[in-house]
Amino acid sequence: MGLQVAQTARVFDVKTVQEVQARLRALLVMELSLRLEEAQRRLPTSCVYNHRQVLDVRREVQGEPNAGFNRIDRQGLPVLNEVGLCMFGAESLTEWPGNICDEVVDAQRCPMFQSVHTKEKVFSEFKAQLQDADWLKINLPEVASLLWVLGDTSANHHLPWWLRLWYWVLRFRVEPVCPRRLEDYVQE
């Protein structure tokens, strides 16, 4: 008695080169849009005046144990005790208010906020990362796979013409969520 093997017909949905390129373009558009969205958010860490200052790291302070020293979080990673300081006007220490800018709402209301991100910086960083095959494999594996299918090494030239045009005319501006007057921040 012979072993009977049931043969099943496997149907593969083979995509055309144009469909693969369209998917690649869609992924690149989505990634660039996310980056531009993130760059336009008003976050304390996105301000040119924000300085992350590490808090006291001494084991003891005047003979007393420092409660904030050597803490770990739930994953076992060390907790860095730091605070965001607004360095606007810090050239003159007698007039510098030393404001703490640690929360999102602080950055959203601040009239002195200047983003560290520029449209040109975001786009040039994006283009440079698209040239790096190792970076693509780690951070955008689907793009790397599609490039492999196409037999290509760089995703740079796969940006659609309309995206490049849209990016060129894009108005890159970080709007305050809760606008306040400059007089509320300046002490006389």
How is the chain split into domains, by residue range? 16-40+117-188, 43-114
Write down the pLDDT at residue 135: 92
* Distance, CA of 91 to chain centre: 29
- Comparing 187 with 150, which gets the higher pLDDT? 150
- Comparing 72 with 181, which gets the higher pLDDT? 72
- In this structure, of 11-25, 49-63, 85-99, 129-143, the range with the lowest mean pLDDT score is 49-63
Confidence band, pLDDT 50/70/90 cuts, at residue 142: very high
6-42: per-residue pLDDT in tens? 555 566 678 888 888 889 888 988 998 899 888 888 8
